[in-house]
């Protein structure tokens, strides 16, 4: 006998959702003016939003939500979300973890710290993952690891390029060793895509550190960082606390990391869509195997 | 800690030294104290059992960091007496917090890679307290690829507080070095057996920890963050480390239940530091048994199994499953 349960079970694995509504494109509350957190200049709200939350005066990149990034990066109505119904458990019975995830879900409107799906960028189909720093610091627990892994596997299966925009404080402490293992799991999945000749572009947004940086975020064929993003294995605070080292100004920022050879490109958020399209074109038709090469 | 002994071991250590004293007395003065000694020994055995059968997670952390606990080289010298160390990452320098080399195990060559702490301050400075720099991980990967080329199984021993967090490590790409190891280890075409012998400190441990079998000494720990670090974040006070150690589920038993490790290697009663030879022989037996099983698998099967092993780690739900629950 068909029950309500069966109805839920028979849902397709990948749920199509409609293009994020205009609300997703909005990042700031009502009010006409804001003061730039960096340069202090007064900015017209609409102007800041139109420049994708990058200060038009000083170029400061505000943190933005995953939905906002997607809405402003992909072709209209092209995003189809994967695995939107995956939710975290509390495998260790960790103090206050369920409350913490519930609060994060309410705050962000997401079930977890990454949104994945397929979409088009200037007409080119790609698999996209975008992390949400507002969800427990974009930390990677079992769900984030699983969704990133499935996205990489989907890229392998569909022979589409993979793009992941990462912003994270690292592994999710509340899931203990299981979150550490997501580093191995996601890296292994990227490894399979890599061996098969698939293109993976990793975009590092502020901040991107620790367990995420020490796994899939560092494994891109091409690694892009937003300007002045904190990009590190151990952030400045960790270093100052644990080894009491004095740090020079600007250490751990995208520019420093590029200078030391670990980032290909620094790209302003307002240029990201164009730059990605250009890179995708350079690898045109090169999903896995690049069948149409030559 | 008193004289290198742990607080909870103290009653036992005191009793043991009294027994030793009586023995000396018997010998020197030729007075028969056998009866007293036997009584005390019974008492010590009982106490030993009471103390070690019921260790809390934080007491196990103390055992894993015990100043007399066998370090990687202590065990390597016992398990692989002909170990020949090879140096350097061929890129920058030789990191002393990670050692690697060749040895024979039951008549077959193997590549051994281990994280090495120091025994005293001088050694610890040379070994950077067992916290590798990126070049350590790159040396490990170089030796693992060499093992793959020559078809040798790889054995890694994990014992680190973590990858070194410092400016130079950032400049040389600590995150990249770890990530690259995770990616390549997951597809190497030779068997990999990992043994956590002391402290498994997060990404710094995992960077040589992707294998076909993950074994763990009974009192070792393996964690995403140190209990002190977790306590500092969660309780804003590192002195809550004992609570954090319990919450993080970092003991061998916890990890076996979470299916992150495959097997617990027993330690001598009272911990690995009480009998290096027995500890080493237990580790050796476990490595040999697991390698024998892995050697039977063909290469594709081996790599697919390793992928699936890590692919399946993690606990999560579908939203509608929760509705059912």
Express each pLDDT in B198-240 by its tens digit.
Answer: 999 999 999 999 999 999 999 999 999 999 888 888 888 888 8
Query: Averaged over A70-86, what is the pLDDT?
Result: 97
Choice between B40 and B83, residue whose per-residue pLDDT is larger:
B83
Chain A residue with minimum CA distance to B166: A239
Confidence label for B277 from pLDDT (cuts 50, 70 and 90): very high
What residue has token string 């392998």?
A156
Task: Reply yes or no on whether the pLDDT at A11 is more than 70.
Answer: no
Provide the shortest C-alpha distance from residue B314 to chain A (in Å).
5
Question: In angstroms, what separates the C-alpha of B282 from chain A's closest C-alpha?
Answer: 25
Low-confidence winner among A117-131, B40-54, B104-118, B216-230 (lowest mean pLDDT): B40-54
- Cα A165 to Cα A10: distance, rounded to the nearest angstrom: 31
Task: Give the least confident one: A31-40, A128-137, B73-82, B151-160.
Answer: A31-40
Give me the residue spans of the domains in chain A: 63-282
Chain B: closest CA distance from residue A194 (Å): 10
Which pLDDT band, with edges at 50, 70 and 90, does B321 fall under? low
A244 touches chain B (CB under 8 A): no
CB contact under 8 A, B316 and A87: yes
- Give A-chain residues touching B317 at CB under 8 angstroms: 86-89
Cis peptide leading into residue B200 (ω within 30°): no
Q: Supply the pLDDT for residue A25.
A: 63
Q: Which one of A185, A214, A251 has the shortest CB-CB distance to B167?
A: A251
Sorted by where each begins, the domain ranges of chain B are: 7-54, 62-311
CB distance B316–A9 less than 8 Å?
no
The predicted structure's pLDDT at residue B257: 96
CB < 8 Å to B307, chain A: 188, 192
Say what the pLDDT of residue A216 is. 98
Q: How far off is chain A from B140, nearest CA to CA, in Å?
A: 16
Which of A85, A214, A249 to probe by mutation at the B interface, max B CB count within 10 Å? A214
Burial class (CB in 10 A: 0-12, 13-18, 19+), A25: middle
Instruction: For residue A116, give the nearest of A137, A72, A85, A158 by alpha carbon.
Output: A85
- Burial class of B293 by CB neighbour count within 10 A (0 to 12, 13 to 18, 19+): exposed
Between CA A261 and CA B220 the distance in angstroms is: 37
How many CB atoms are located within 10 Å of the residue A75 CB?
A: 15
Of A184, A214, A239, the CB nearest to B310: A184
Residue B132 in contact with residue B92, Cβ under 8 Å?
Answer: no
| Residue B129 near residue B161 (C-beta atoms within 8 A) | yes
Asked if the Cβ–Cβ distance from B310 to A179 is below 8 Å, we say: no
Distance of CA A227 to the CA centre of its chain: 16
* pLDDT, greater one: A28 or A179: A179
Which DSSP string corresponds to chain A?
Answer: ---HHHHHHTS-SS---PPPPGGGG--S-SSSEEE-TTT--EEEHHHHHHTTTB-TTT--B----HHHHHHHHSPTT--EEE-TTEEE--TT--TTHHHHHHHHHHHHS-SSSEEEEEEEETTEEEEEEEE-TTTGGG-B-HHHHHHHHHHHHHHHHHT--EEEEEEESSB-GGGHHHHHHHHHHHHHHHHHHHHTT--EEEEEEEEEEHHHHTTGGG--SEEEE-TT-BEESS-HHHHHHHT-----TTTTBHHHHHHTT--SEE--HHHHHHHHHHHHHHTTT-SSTTTT--
Kindly give the interhelix angle for B299-311 and A176-195, rounded to the nearest 10 degrees.
Answer: 140
- Is the complex ipTM higher than 0.90? yes
Share of chain A above pLDDT 90, in %: 73
Instruction: Give me the residue label for tokens 């990605």.
Output: A276
In a mutational test of the B interface, the residue from A178, A192, A243 whose CB has the highest number of chain B CBs within 10 Å is A178
Find the mean pLDDT for residues A107-127.
97
pLDDT at A19: 47
Q: Is the Cβ of A139 closer than 8 Å to some Cβ of chain B? A: no
* Burial track B62-84 (b if 16+ CB lie within 10 A, e otherwise): bbbebeebbbbbbbbebbbeebe
Number of residues written out for chain B: 325
pLDDT of residue A294: 36
CB pairs under 8 A between A and B: 203
Contact list in B for residue A191 (CB cut-off 8 A) is 183-184, 186-187
Confidence band (pLDDT; 50, 70, 90) for A284?
confident
Class of residue A190 by CB neighbours under 10 A (exposed 0-12, middle 13-18, buried 19+): buried
Q: Which among B54, B99, B65 has a CA at the least distance from the CA of B223? A: B65
CB contact A234 to B (< 8 Å): yes
Name the E strands within B82-129.
84-86, 98-105, 108-115
Report the candidate in A283, A55, A91, A288 with the shortest Cα–Cα distance to residue A179: A91
- In terms of pLDDT, which residue wins out, B305 or B18? B305
- Chain B environment of A145 (Cβ under 8 Å): 313-314
Q: Where residue B84 falls among pLDDT bands split at 50, 70, 90?
A: very high
Mean pLDDT of A16-24: 51
d(CA B183, nearest CA chain A) in Å:
5
- Kindly tell me if the per-residue pLDDT of B37 is higher than 60: yes
Judged by CB atoms closer than 8 Å, whether chains meet at A218 and B179 is answered as yes
A31 vs B: CB within 8 A: no
Mean pLDDT of chain B: 93
Question: For position A28, what pLDDT does the model report?
Answer: 64
CATH number for the domain whose boundaries are A63-282: 3.90.226.10
With a cut of 50, say whether residue B325 has pLDDT above it: no
The CATH fold assigned to B62-311 is 2-enoyl-CoA Hydratase; Chain A, domain 1 (3.90.226)
Measured between alpha carbons, how far is residue A83 from residues A68, A134, B318 in Å?
Answer: 19, 19, 8
What average pLDDT does the segment B236-259 reach?
A: 92
B181-200 mean pLDDT: 98
Does the pLDDT value for residue B3 go beyond 70? Answer: no
pLDDT mean over A2-13: 46
Q: Which chain A residues are within 8 Å of B244, Cβ to Cβ? A: none
How many Cβ atoms sit within 10 Å of the Cβ of residue A31? 7
Assess whether pLDDT exceeds 50 at residue A293. Answer: no
Q: Residue B324: what pLDDT? A: 41
Q: What is the pLDDT of residue A131?
A: 98
Cβ neighbours of residue B126 closer than 8 Å, sequence gap 6 or more: B96, B118
pLDDT of residue B322: 52
List, as one string, the DSSP characters of A29-55: -SSSEEE-TTT--EEEHHHHHHTTTB-
Q: What is the pLDDT of residues B301-320, one digit of tens each?
A: 999 999 999 999 999 999 87
Angle at A25 between CA A100 and CA A148, to 5 degrees: 50
**Which pLDDT does position A53 carry in this prediction?**
94
Instruction: Give the closest of A146, A184, A214 to B186, CB-based.
Output: A184
Average pLDDT score over residue span B29-39: 85
Q: What is the mean pLDDT of chain A?
A: 89
| pLDDT reading at A80 higher than 60 | yes
Give the gap in angstroms from C-alpha B66 to the nearest C-alpha of chain A: 21
Six-digit token string for A222: 């091409």
* Residue B49 scores a pLDDT above 90: no
């Amino acid at each position: 006998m068909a029950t309500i349960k069966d109805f839920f079970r028979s849902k397709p694995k990948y749920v199509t959702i409609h293009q994020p509504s205009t609300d997703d494109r909005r990042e700031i509350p009502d009010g006409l003016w804001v003061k730039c957190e960096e340069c202090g200049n007064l900015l017209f709200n609409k102007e800041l939003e139109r420049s994708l939350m990058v200060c038009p005066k000083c170029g400061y990149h505000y943190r933005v939500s995953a939905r906002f990034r997607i809405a402003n990066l992909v072709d209209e109505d092209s995003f189809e979300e994967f695995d939107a119904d995956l939710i975290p458990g509390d495998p260790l019975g960790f103090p206050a973890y369920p409350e913490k995830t519930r609060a994060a879900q309410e705050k962000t409107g997401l079930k977890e710290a990454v949104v994945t799906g397929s979409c088009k960028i200037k007409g080119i189909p790609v698999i996209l993952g975008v992390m949400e720093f507002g969800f427990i610091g974009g930390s990677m627990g079992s769900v984030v690891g699983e969704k990133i892994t499935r996205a990489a596997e989907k890229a392998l299966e569909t022979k589409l390029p993979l793009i992941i925009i990462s912003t994270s404080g690292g592994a999710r402490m509340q899931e203990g060793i299981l979150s550490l293992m997501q580093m191995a799991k996601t890296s292994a999945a990227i490894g399979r895509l890599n061996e098969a000749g698939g293109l993976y572009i990793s975009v590092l947004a502020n901040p991107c550190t620790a367990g995420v940086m020490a796994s899939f975020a560092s494994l891109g064929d091409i690694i892009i960082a937003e300007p002045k993003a904190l990009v590190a294995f151990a952030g400045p605070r960790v270093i100052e606390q644990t080894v009491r080292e004095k740090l020079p100004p600007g250490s751990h920022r995208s520019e420093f990391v590029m200078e030391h050879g670990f980032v290909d490109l620094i790209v302003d958020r307002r240029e990201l869509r164009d730059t990605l399209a250009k890179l995708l074109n350079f690898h045109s038709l090169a999903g896995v195997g690049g069948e149409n090469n030559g | 800690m008193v004289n290198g002994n742990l607080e909870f071991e103290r009653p036992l250590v005191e009793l043991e030294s009294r027994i030793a004293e009586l023995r000396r007395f018997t010998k020197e003065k030729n007075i028969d104290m056998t009866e007293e000694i036997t009584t005390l020994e019974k008492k010590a055995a009982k106490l030993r059992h009471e103390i070690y059968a019921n260790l809390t997670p934080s007491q196990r952390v103390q055992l894993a960091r015990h100043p007399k606990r066998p370090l990687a080289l202590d065990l390597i010298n016992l398990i692989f007496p002909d170990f020949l160390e090879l140096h350097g990452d061929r890129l920058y320098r030789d990191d002393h917090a990670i050692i690697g080399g060749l040895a024979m195990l039951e008549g077959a060559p193997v590549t051994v890679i281990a994280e090495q702490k120091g025994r005293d301050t001088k050694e610890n400075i040379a070994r950077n307290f067992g916290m590798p720099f990126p070049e350590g991980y790159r040396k490990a990967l170089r030796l693992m690829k060499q093992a793959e080329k020559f078809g040798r199984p790889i054995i890694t021993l994990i014992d680190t507080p973590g990858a070194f967090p410092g400016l130079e490590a950032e400049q040389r790409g600590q995150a990249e070095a770890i990530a690259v190891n995770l990616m390549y280890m997951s597809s190497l075409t030779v068997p990999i057996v990992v043994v956590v012998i002391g402290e498994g400190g997060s990404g710094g441990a995992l960077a040589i920890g992707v294998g076909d079998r993950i074994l763990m000494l009974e009192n070792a720990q393996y964690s995403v963050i140190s209990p002190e670090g977790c306590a500092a974040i969660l309780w804003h006070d590192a002195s809550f480390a004992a609570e954090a150690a319990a919450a993080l589920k970092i003991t061998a038993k916890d990890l076996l239940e979470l299916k992150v490790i495959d097997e617990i290697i027993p330690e001598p009663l009272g911990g690995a530091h009480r009998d290096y030879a027995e500890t080493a022989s237990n580790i050796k037996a476990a490595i040999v048994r697991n390698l024998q099983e892995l050697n039977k698998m063909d290469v594709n099967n081996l790599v697919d199994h390793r992928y699936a092993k890590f692919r399946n780690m993690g606990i999560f739900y579908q939203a509608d499953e929760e509705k059912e629950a």
